[in-house]
Amino acid sequence: MTLLARVPANPAPVAPLRRGRYPLLPYLLLLPGAAWLLVFFGLPLVQLAATSLYDPAGSLATGYAMTWAVDNYPAALQAYWPQFSRSFLYAGIATVLALLMGYPLAYAIALKAGRWKNLLLVCVIAPMFTSFLVRTLAWKTILSDNGWLVGLLRDVHLLDADGRLLATPVAVVLGLTYNFLPFLVLPLYASLERLDYRLLEAASDLYASPVGAFRRVTLPLSMPGLIAGTLLFFIPASGDYINAELLGTPNEYMIGNVIDSAFLVRLDYPQGAALSFLLMAAVLAVVFVYLRRAGTEEVL
Amino acid sequence: MRTPLRPSHPLSRRGLLSGALSSAALLAGGGVLAGCGTKGAQQTETGCVSEDLSGTEKVLNFSNWPQYMDVDEADESKRPTLDAFQSSTGIKVTYTEDVNDNNEFFGKVQNQLAGCQATGRDIMVLTDWMAARMIRLGWVQKLDPAKIPNVQANLLPSLRNRSFDPENRIAIPWQSGLAGLAYNGKVAKEIRTVDELLTRPDLKGKVTALSEMRDTMGLLLQSNGHDPANFTAAQFDDALAKLKRAVDSGQIRRFTGNDYAPELAKGDIAACVAWSGDVIQLSAEDDKIQFVTPDSGVMLYSDNMLVPNKATHKGNAEALMNYYFEPKVAAQLAAYVNYICPVQGAKAEMEKIDPELAANPLIFPDEAMLSKSKVFMALTEEQERSYESKFQQVIGA
């Protein structure tokens, strides 16, 4: 969501080659998308920003006065920082887990799968054909206290006799990992698929070990996909509330659950709006730091 | 050697930064434009006048919860009681099952009702506390008592003169239910009290409570010996502290809506705060699952028919309400939906249909059951926000 915000604000530079013939064409092409973004993203965002500054003493019945109540932000953060930090912790762990699973998967599909490539790709995408909610509910059945998985883990003593998976942080992180995995695998696959295999041959001709070739050729060349994938994974995961709601307990609730409750249950619109903006700001901050540390200018 | 393709518009740190900054500037500018705040959503009877076209238009738009209307077992598209109403009155009813959650439905109609606009619905069915909120906001129409004589005559005494509708002429109960306890005998021994639910060690981590504040807190208030129909803020805080101890100790696994039902059936949940209607359906399939009414008391709630502002068929709506308060019709409906029937006299009719159901105190509560059940008190907007916030803090959101 935050990544899209730049589109209307910063018209992308166009190739200068044929500028003389249709000077307005790029802007015309931009128009439908930009209008869409402005109406359905820009304006609601402005409305939300205004809401976050309304007088918190207002109510639905009496209306809200605009008092530029900047205090809504620190107040919201103070009340809900545990859920905030939990969101980033869970999303972070899930990203690492997804990377550990997703990189080998994308690598295998892109470079080793041969004629099975398309089938495997469909397998990655197929779960997305059903609703997010249904997939998460299916995990409830898999992780159920009396299900085969928990039974197995108890038998091999990885879990206590009355241990459980459902309604624990483990379940929430597993759910996040599973639900957003395709967002990580697909960009990685796209960038690994472009990898020129001859570079790896050259590396081994020059006495690089397979590990060395991976580290010095494959990994750097897949970096754009890796960064795009982890971002596409991390951003929705940190704002998610379905997994915590269905697979967790109140002690696992993330910031998305709090925003949901502020808007729909408690009807505290200024606080809900302030929390939404804090989430956006925090995600942006994480993305900045990450891009800086990852040391690359290009992502997509 | 092929150079890797270089995308023409890379997303860069700098691009992201400038994008973010210009969006922020846009927002600040827009904030000034939107800086005037919002108007109050409160409506008055004189400020928002609705017209009744029932005399000329024989139609009715009825929004209800799923599985809340009797259907013909042979043909699911037929609804016997509703079809009989249509053929006897000539009123064509458009029946929509689009109420799944009170809060969600509120979000759906909020903008129209706040602006005194039509929602396209003539009857909507909402739970007590949401009905109370709608009444408080002035978003629903008063009915004419003369046009609903059956309601006046047959409404169950314990559902009369409720604090949010003292004259019984705004919110007419569709079905009622109890919030009490339930347990699955396959994984837990019988449970009798709320305190057992919150502290018994063998249930640890296998207990859920309802995220509906009034039901969970009402039971807790009663377990402390307080009256949910009339309590003080200090008593509420006491009960909440008790709940918090159970959350912190890990006794309570999570807070649920209707979704506790499949988990209770599977045994992931050993015992929980539950609604009677759900549990009757579960125990019909598995008699190990039992509903328990603790001696300290249970909560009685209703889902109520309301006519929203700007609904243009109030007269037709009143005709339907009156029809469903005929004991015979009410018994037919209750035989299918298995909730508490709010209509006096329906029990005698039910004995003709199914004597076993007529004897079930969770459908036709006896005196003993009714004396144990309480309706949560109506809250002012300020109280509602304060209690709901405190409760949400404890349940984790």
ipTM of the complex, rounded to two decimals: 0.75
**Beta-carbon separation of B253 and A257 below 8 A:** no
In whole angstroms, give the CA distance from residue A231 to residue A238: 10
Chain B closest CA to A292's CA: distance in Å?
Answer: 7
DSSP for residue A108: I
> Which residues of chain B are within 8 Å of residue A252 when distances are taken between CB atoms?
396
Residue A292 is predicted with a pLDDT of 84
- Is B4:A292 a contact under the CB 8 Å cutoff? no
- Over residues B252-275, the mean pLDDT reads 89
Nearest to B140 by CA among B59, B219, B66, B42: B42
- Over residues B73-102, the mean pLDDT reads 92
Task: Tell me the C-alpha to C-alpha distance, in Å, between residue B14 and each of A3, A182, B41, B203, B331.
Answer: 12, 27, 44, 55, 70
Residue B25 is predicted with a pLDDT of 65
Tokens 């890990």 -> residue: B250
Own/partner contacts of A105-108, CB < 8 Å, gap of 24 or more, are: A105/A185, A106/A185, A106/A188, A106/A189, A106/A192, A106/A225, A107/A188, A107/A192, A107/A218
In whole angstroms, give the CA distance from residue B285 to residue B272: 18
Domains of chain B: 59-173+304-340 (3.40.190.10), 177-300+381-395 (3.40.190.10)
For A88-131, the pLDDT digits (tens) are 999 999 999 999 999 999 999 998 888 999 999 999 999 889 99
pLDDT at B44 over 60: yes
Range in B11-15, B83-87, B125-129, B266-270 the model is least confident about: B11-15
Full 3-state SS string of B196-256: HHHHCHHHCCCEEEECCHHHHHHHHHHHCCCECCECCHHHHHHHHHHHHHHHHCCCEEEEE
Residue A89 is predicted with a pLDDT of 96
> Which residues of chain A are within 8 Å of residue B382 when distances are taken between CB atoms?
59
Residue A233 is predicted with a pLDDT of 96
Chain B closest CA to A120's CA: distance in Å?
Answer: 24
Nearest to A99 by CA among A195, A202, A230, A211: A230
Q: Is any Cβ of chain A less than 8 angstroms from the Cβ of B12?
A: yes
- Test mutation, B2, B11, B216, chain A, max A CBs within 10 A: B11
For B146-179, the pLDDT digits (tens) are 999 999 999 998 889 888 899 999 999 999 999 9
φ/ψ of B72, rounded to 5, equals -70, 130
pLDDT at B39 over 90: no
**Whole-model pTM?**
0.80
pLDDT at A5 over 50: no
- Over residues B324-349, the mean pLDDT reads 92
pLDDT bucket at B341, cuts 50 / 70 / 90:
very high
**Beta-carbon separation of B17 and A288 below 8 A:** yes
**Beta-carbon separation of B16 and A291 below 8 A:** yes
Range in B3-7, B149-153, B220-224 the model is least confident about: B3-7
- Cβ neighbors of B146 (< 8 A, separation 6 or more) are none
Chain B closest CA to A12's CA: distance in Å?
Answer: 7
Range in B31-35, B107-111, B225-229, B316-320 the model is least confident about: B31-35
* Count of CB pairs separated by less than 8 Å, A with B: 179
pLDDT bucket at B271, cuts 50 / 70 / 90:
very high
pLDDT bucket at A6, cuts 50 / 70 / 90:
very low
How many CB atoms are closer than 10 A to CB B43? Answer: 20
**What does the block give as tokens for B358?**
């007529």
CA nearest to A82 within chain B = B396
Residues 100-129 of B with CB under 8 A from A: 103-104, 106-107, 110, 114
Residue B27 is predicted with a pLDDT of 59
DSSP for residue A110: I
Beta bridge mates, B181:
B273, B292
Domains of chain A: 74-294 (1.10.3720.10)
Chain B closest CA to A299's CA: distance in Å?
Answer: 5
pLDDT bucket at B211, cuts 50 / 70 / 90:
confident
Residue A281 is predicted with a pLDDT of 93
Residue B241 C-alpha from the chain's centroid: 25
